[in-house]
Amino acid sequence: MTESTRTHAPEASHPDVPEAAHAPPLVEIAGLSVDFATRHGVVRAVRDVDLTLRAGQCLALVGESGSGKSVTARTLIGLAGEGATVRAGTLAFEGRDLLRLGGREWRRLRGRRIGYVLQDALGSLDPLRRVGDEVAEPLEVHGLATRDDLEDRVIGLLADAGIPDPEERLLQYPHELSGGLRQRALIASAIAARPSLLIADEPTTALDVTVQAQVLDLLRQMKDAGTALLLISHDLAVVARMADHIAVMRAGQVVEQGPATHVLTQPEHPHTAALLAAVPSLDAGPRTATTLAAPVARAGTVLAEAAGSGTGPLLVDPAVSKTGPRSPGAAAGGAVDVVQVRAVTKTFRSLDGRRRTAVDDVSFTLAAGEALGLVGESGSGKSTTARLVLAEFEPDAGSVLLDGEPWSGPRERDRRARRSRIQLVDQDPLGSFDPRFTVEQVIAEALGPGAPVNGSEGGRPEAPGSGVRGGRPFGSGAGARRERVVELLAAVGLDAGFLVRGPARLSGGQRQRVAIARALAPGPEVLVCDEPVSALDVTVQAQILALLARLRREAGLSLLFISHDLGVVRQVCDRVAVMKDGAIVEIGEVDAVFRAPRHPYTAALLAAVPRLDTAWHDTARPLNGPATEPATDRDTKGIR
């Protein structure tokens, strides 16, 4: 065992552990190491991991992506991956030594004794096969059902997983189901053969918050019915509801493990503390970049980048900065509205010819320097609203104004000169980077042709505090251009060493930083951020949010911040608009809306958010029961 591993008091002392504690554990792992032979040498993915899981209990493996959680779990089904070398002192399931199993014995175990639920149910169900066939596969493989009763069994399984109308669903294909139903189908398949252990690898990561709550409930029911659960998540808040024990992994090692309450409330390893600190909280409290960065900085080793990012040079023009950085709160009062959205409506024609209203009579304003959050579940019209604000397409009714001038309406040719004022930061920018470009080229391209900086800015009303937006006397030529790119990189906390990197060689957080630098390049007033941190680990997420907050504060940017994550919105935004079915059901100051939601939908959204403090023994949740999921079926007829 490594020095950094801390194990808390023996499990038996924990009040929630049943008498079964004295029986041999279902899963016993000691000294597990997994190495991968790659072209660049051996990668030690998992090092010296000890874990124990007893029947009917839930063990949560928590850590950032790449920390070795999934690999650890997959050793239990013998699918650690290609080129993996698994070594362990003990690797036992139901008392059997897994290290001695041959191919046939492994297959008898998989799906039969151990069920495995992957994240991303769209990719994890074979898209070319019917849902029923997918759910039936374990029964077929293990010969657990005859041809005649197979369909009845599948219907029963789908119903058990809380899928309405199972007779119809089993004939459908995965893409015809909503994300929540797909995840349920995947769980139905994993438990088809009544395994004694269910491994769930990020089972709710891609789901809306209310659907996530339902899927967690389903898993909890499985656990209550006696199935042991190995839950893998990057999100401590998700785990807080379910887990009896938590093991925190980092860089292939378990750095801390113990009873859930203990790990959550009295973390001993700094990495656990950092993970806890980075979880976006709904509660009122620190929202500014500096205070957010504080607990992160305390974590020291882990998040050096975040701590350092606070000191990066910002492109504040000396002349402009005399007016002082804008305080976010002041933005709402008396300031000019940069963006005005007036009663916009947008409908799309779906394939069957019917029209679907994606955005329904939506109005809001975005003041200079303000951050407005747009929250709602998938299909609620958030992204369409963002696209309208970006004038990617015209609204059917209503209008959008930028700096008081018509933004929707004019021909694109007349709009182009003003395009630089409003920029987009997308969820996963990798797709928008030319893979053959270097980071320098990616950002330089956004500077526009020829003139390195503010050629297109002439004559528009200058908002104060626009340091990042140029105004600096730049020379011409490649040198000045590069200088500008380096400055933009510095503004997002990256050094000049990144200039020559290819997009593929960036981590998720670095990629998002580059995307932000690119968005800043033309000197915008408004950043439209569409789920900018949804694809990121929670600690990296905190860094990016801190960066956005700092840019906003120091450069006076306005943010239209779209997210399904209420905690994230809470951290970043001054005001929040809650969208449902294309309409804004509630809009107001973040504190007020979160503290006392007026619309029942807002209240339901807030209640569904996993919290650290409600912990795992809290059973009262508002969205219990079988999935009716009226809202989630919407994704099947989504915009695209």
Partner 1 sequence: MPPLARWLLRRSAQIALVLWGAATLAFLGMRLVPGDPARAIAGGVQASATPAVLDAIRAQYGLDRPLPVQYAIFLGRLLRGDLGRSYQLNQAVGSVITEQLGATVALAIGAMVLGLTLATVLGLLTAGRPRARALARAFEFCSISTPGFWIGTLLLGAFSFHLHWFPVLGEDGLAGLVLPWLTLTLSIAGVLSQVTREGVEHALEQPFALTARSRGATENRVRLRHALRHAALPVLTLSGWALGELLGGVVVVETVFARQGIGQVVVSAVQGRDLPVVTGVVLLAAVTFALINTGLDLLYRLVDPRMRQVAL
Region of 38-46, 125-133, 304-312, 544-552 interacting with partner 1 (CB under 8 A): 125-133
From 126, 149, 168, 462, residue interacting with partner 1 (rule: CB under 8 A): 126
Nearer to partner 1, 141 or 496 (CB): 141
From 89, 123, 329, 404, residue interacting with partner 1 (rule: CB under 8 A): 123
Q: Is 258 helix (H, G, I), strand (E, B) or coil?
A: strand
Task: Check if the beta carbon of residue 441 is closer than 8 Å to that of residue 434.
Answer: yes
From 110, 513, 518, 580, residue interacting with partner 1 (rule: CB under 8 A): 110
Phi, psi at residue 463, to the nearest 5°? -80, 150
Region of 31-39, 129-137, 209-217, 267-275 interacting with partner 1 (CB under 8 A): 129-137
Q: Tell me the closest approach of the beta carbon of residue 543 to partner 1, in angstroms.
A: 28
Task: Check if the beta carbon of residue 102 is closer than 8 Å to that of residue 153.
Answer: no
Q: Tell me the closest approach of the beta carbon of residue 38 to partner 1, in angstroms.
A: 14
Q: Tell me the closest approach of the beta carbon of residue 347 to partner 1, in angstroms.
A: 17
Nearer to partner 1, 14 or 108 (CB): 108
Residue numbers 71-90 binding partner 1 by CB under 8 A: 77, 79
Task: Check if the beta carbon of residue 131 is closer than 8 Å to that of residue 189.
Answer: no
Q: Are strands 337-349 and 397-402 parallel, antiparallel or unpaired?
A: antiparallel
Q: How many CB atoms lie within 10 A of CB 445?
A: 14
- Binding-site size for partner 1 (CB under 8 A) equals 32
The reply on whether position 142 binds partner 1 by CB under 8 A is yes
Region of 11-19, 123-131, 387-395, 527-535 interacting with partner 1 (CB under 8 A): 123-131
Angle, CA 274 vertex, CA 271 and CA 277 arms, to 5°? 155
User: Judging by beta carbons within 10 Å of its beta carbon (0-12, 13-18, 19+), is residue 127 exposed, middle or buried?
Assistant: exposed
From 128, 148, 478, 630, residue interacting with partner 1 (rule: CB under 8 A): 128
Amino acid at 399: S
Size of the chain in residues? 640
Helices 478-491 and 439-446: angle between axes, nearest 10 degrees: 100
Q: Tell me the closest approach of the beta carbon of residue 170 to partner 1, in angstroms.
A: 14
Q: Is 127 helix (H, G, I), strand (E, B) or coil?
A: coil
Residue numbers 310-369 binding partner 1 by CB under 8 A: 351
From residue 538, give the alpha-carbon distance in Å to each of 8, 281, 444, 527, 541.
Answer: 25, 12, 30, 22, 5
Q: Tell me the closest approach of the beta carbon of residue 76 to partner 1, in angstroms.
A: 10
User: What is the distance between the alpha carbons of residues 358 and 335, in angstroms, rounded to a whole number?
Assistant: 30
Task: Report the candidate in 195, 191, 47, 25 with the shortest Cα–Cα distance to residue 96.
Answer: 25
From 29, 62, 86, 125, residue interacting with partner 1 (rule: CB under 8 A): 125
User: Judging by beta carbons within 10 Å of its beta carbon (0-12, 13-18, 19+), is residue 156 exposed, middle or buried?
Assistant: middle
User: What is the distance between the alpha carbons of residues 11 and 258, in angstroms, rounded to a whole number?
Assistant: 8
The reply on whether position 115 binds partner 1 by CB under 8 A is yes
From 109, 229, 279, 569, residue interacting with partner 1 (rule: CB under 8 A): 109
Find all residues with CB under 8 Å of 524, minimum gap 6, and list them: 420, 421, 422, 423, 469, 557
From 8, 52, 60, 116, residue interacting with partner 1 (rule: CB under 8 A): 116
Nearer to partner 1, 77 or 316 (CB): 77
Q: Tell me the closest approach of the beta carbon of residue 107 to partner 1, in angstroms.
A: 5
From 118, 292, 299, 578, residue interacting with partner 1 (rule: CB under 8 A): 118
The reply on whether position 129 binds partner 1 by CB under 8 A is yes
Q: Tell me the closest approach of the beta carbon of residue 103 to partner 1, in angstroms.
A: 9
Q: Tell me the closest approach of the beta carbon of residue 528 to partner 1, in angstroms.
A: 29
The reply on whether position 108 binds partner 1 by CB under 8 A is yes
Region of 28-36, 114-122, 326-334, 554-562 interacting with partner 1 (CB under 8 A): 114-122
The reply on whether position 137 binds partner 1 by CB under 8 A is yes
Q: Tell me the closest approach of the beta carbon of residue 189 to partner 1, in angstroms.
A: 7
From 14, 87, 107, 262, residue interacting with partner 1 (rule: CB under 8 A): 107
Nearer to partner 1, 189 or 510 (CB): 189
Find all residues with CB under 8 Å of 446, minimum gap 6, and list them: 518, 519, 521, 522
Phi, psi at residue 91, to the nearest 5°? -140, 90
Q: Tell me the closest approach of the beta carbon of residue 135 to partner 1, in angstroms.
A: 10
Q: Is 526 helix (H, G, I), strand (E, B) or coil?
A: strand
Task: Check if the beta carbon of residue 378 is closer than 8 Å to that of residue 358.
Answer: no
Residue numbers 163-222 binding partner 1 by CB under 8 A: 173, 175-176, 186, 189-190
From 8, 112, 169, 513, residue interacting with partner 1 (rule: CB under 8 A): 112
User: What is the distance between the alpha carbons of residues 460 and 586, in angstroms, rounded to a whole number?
Assistant: 33
> Pattern 215-254, binding to partner 1, x per CB under 8 A?
----------------------------------------
For the chain, how are helix, strand and coil distributed in percent, rounded to 5? 40, 20, 40
User: What is the distance between the alpha carbons of residues 237 and 60, in angstroms, rounded to a whole number?
Assistant: 11
From residue 402, give the alpha-carbon distance in Å to each of 346, 421, 462.
Answer: 19, 9, 13
Q: Tell me the closest approach of the beta carbon of residue 213 to partner 1, in angstroms.
A: 24
Find all residues with CB under 8 Å of 594, minimum gap 6, and list them: 282, 284, 566, 570, 576, 606
Nearer to partner 1, 201 or 574 (CB): 201
User: What is the distance between the alpha carbons of residues 516 and 489, in angstroms, rounded to a whole number?
Assistant: 9
Nearer to partner 1, 79 or 294 (CB): 79
Q: Is 307 helix (H, G, I), strand (E, B) or coil?
A: helix
Q: Are strands 422-425 and 405-406 parallel, antiparallel or unpaired?
A: unpaired
Q: Tell me the closest approach of the beta carbon of residue 117 to partner 1, in angstroms.
A: 8
Q: How many CB atoms lie within 10 A of CB 598?
A: 12
Task: Report the candidate in 582, 583, 552, 384 with the shortest Cα–Cα distance to residue 467.
Answer: 552
Q: Tell me the closest approach of the beta carbon of residue 584 to partner 1, in angstroms.
A: 30
The reply on whether position 124 binds partner 1 by CB under 8 A is yes
Q: Tell me the closest approach of the beta carbon of residue 70 to partner 1, in angstroms.
A: 10
Region of 101-109, 491-499, 525-533, 620-628 interacting with partner 1 (CB under 8 A): 101-109
Q: Tell me the closest approach of the beta carbon of residue 27 to partner 1, in angstroms.
A: 16
Nearer to partner 1, 18 or 123 (CB): 123
Q: Tell me the closest approach of the beta carbon of residue 204 to partner 1, in angstroms.
A: 16
Q: List residues near partner 1 by CB under 8 A.
A: 77, 79, 107-112, 114-116, 118, 120, 123-129, 134, 137-138, 141-142, 173, 175-176, 186, 189-190, 351
